[in-house]
Amino acid sequence: MKKSDIFWQTYLKIEKELLEVAKYIYVTDEKIVNHNSQKYTSQLETFSPYIADLIIRTCIEIEAISKELYFDFGGTKTRGSKEIFFDEDCLKLLDIKCQTHKKVVLLSCLSFNLTKEENTVFKPLREAHKRQGTDWEKAYQALKHDRYSSICKGTIKNLIHALAALYLLNIYYRDVKLNSKYLEVSNLDFSFGSAIFSIKPPNHNYVIDVINGKEFDDILVSDDSPYILKYVDSTYKAVINACKKNIEEQNKYILSQPEFKEPEFKKIVKEGLQKEKENPRERFIYIWELCKYRLNKKTPSNLSYEKRKQLFLSSNEWNGRIRKNNKHKSAEELTPENIQAEINSAAICAGMELEQQFRSMRMQKAYKEGYCELIIDKGNIKYN
């Protein structure tokens, strides 16, 4: 059995005992009012010697696993030294490497009747790298040194937060790596076997940006999830190459169009590129502007409104797929005042459809063939 399995099995045992507690205590954060208008305080503050014992056992595990992580992450103090402190040394090093103070744990177990976000979405290792920086550690130290006088600190709330911290540390120590097709990432089990907690799924930025053609040279950084979601390197290269080929084909198509020889369209391109140069927020998209230019030539502004409307309604752009699937005005809602804006909008939608035709190859690589990997962020994850 691996060392990480020993820690995980111990965690699951304590988790099971907490679930047993929830069978006999209505764990809720609501203040219940009965028919006599008497208020009952939140059950999260319920305490007992047994719950206190679970907190102590949980925190002993936190001390042990944090020291293992300390050495795994390059801690320099001697193993077994009394000078190694689990919070100020071990959890501090882990926080430096992994930004653990930002990591969110989700509580979604149906055995608990918790409604407030602070009790279902929280960061159990925030301030944990400081001496008694968390309520659960304060409770642990108090119970360890003076059980009788501090028994009121042996609460369900402190136990839940301590156990969440132990769960998160196990996530780091087990260091489970997952591979999945991108479209199947949402089906992954982010509880990793816990019956109470799960981690927050990582954002998709490092996948979506690659699909859009962005290349990465720097180290990838996680947010409030311990994991980073990225393409496996072979897929990353395939998608980026497909993007480059896509751009080449799109540019070749655009430059071959006869409109590029027309003075009026040349003027539009020149002015658009100048605006983009002067304002970083401006973006000149050739294929959109080409479609706008074409539709406006089909529906020139010097025609009567009725004639323009007739030409517009009979155009392919009016019946475009993207336009139909998004908010747009009906034929009855068109007026002389809004028809120009609708013509431009329909043309842009047509440009988007044309873009999608060029993107089909990279979409095949990105969505259907490409594999992603979920990796614990240890401060050294890159695309290669």
- pLDDT tens string, the chain, 384 residues long: the values are 788 999 999 999 999 999 999 999 888 888 766 656 555 667 898 999 999 999 999 999 999 999 999 999 999 998 988 889 999 999 999 999 999 999 999 998 988 989 899 999 999 999 999 988 899 999 999 999 999 999 999 999 999 999 999 999 999 999 999 999 888 898 999 999 999 999 999 999 999 898 888 999 999 999 999 999 999 999 898 888 888 888 888 888 888 999 988 999 999 999 999 998 999 888 888 889 999 999 999 999 999 999 999 999 999 999 999 999 988 899 999 999 999 999 999 999 999 988 887 776 566 666 667 789 999 999 999 998
Residue 195 counted as domain residue: no
* Residue 106, strand partner residues: 121, 198
Say how many domains are in the chain: 2
- Please indicate, yes or no, whether residues 54 and 153 belong to a single structural domain of this protein: yes
CA distances from 142 to 87, 139, 161 (A): 16, 5, 16
The reported pTM is 0.79
pLDDT at 88 (0 to 100): 94
Residue 188 counted as domain residue: no
Dihedral (CA of 116, 117, 118, 123) sign: positive
Q: Yes or no: say if 22 and 111 are a contact pair by the CB < 8 Å rule.
A: yes
Strands, E assignment, the chain? 32-33, 39-40, 105-107, 121-122, 178-181, 197-199, 227-231, 371-376
Domain boundary among 174, 189, 210: 174
Residue 183 counted as domain residue: no
Domain boundary among 133, 157, 174: 174
- Please indicate, yes or no, whether residues 41 and 78 belong to a single structural domain of this protein: yes
- Please indicate, yes or no, whether residues 298 and 160 belong to a single structural domain of this protein: no
What helix, strand, coil percent values describe the chain, rounded to 5?
Answer: 55, 10, 35
**Residues whose CB is less than 8 angstroms from the CB of residue 252 and which lie 6 or more positions away in sequence, other chains included:** none
**Interior/surface letters 107-144, b for 16+ CB within 10 angstroms, e for the rest:** bebeebebeeeebeebbbbbbbbeeebbebbebbebbe
Residue 79 counted as domain residue: yes
Tracing tokens 């119970």 back to the chain, one arrives at 143
Helix or strand holding residue 277 (H, E): helix 263-278
Q: Yes or no: say if 164 and 107 are a contact pair by the CB < 8 Å rule.
A: yes
Residue 182 counted as domain residue: no
Strands, E assignment, 67-148? 105-107, 121-122
3-state secondary structure (DSSP) of residue 323:
helix
- Please indicate, yes or no, whether residues 124 and 223 belong to a single structural domain of this protein: no
pLDDT at 248 (0 to 100): 85
Residue 193 counted as domain residue: no
> Residue 236 sits in which domain range?
202-384
Residue 196 counted as domain residue: no
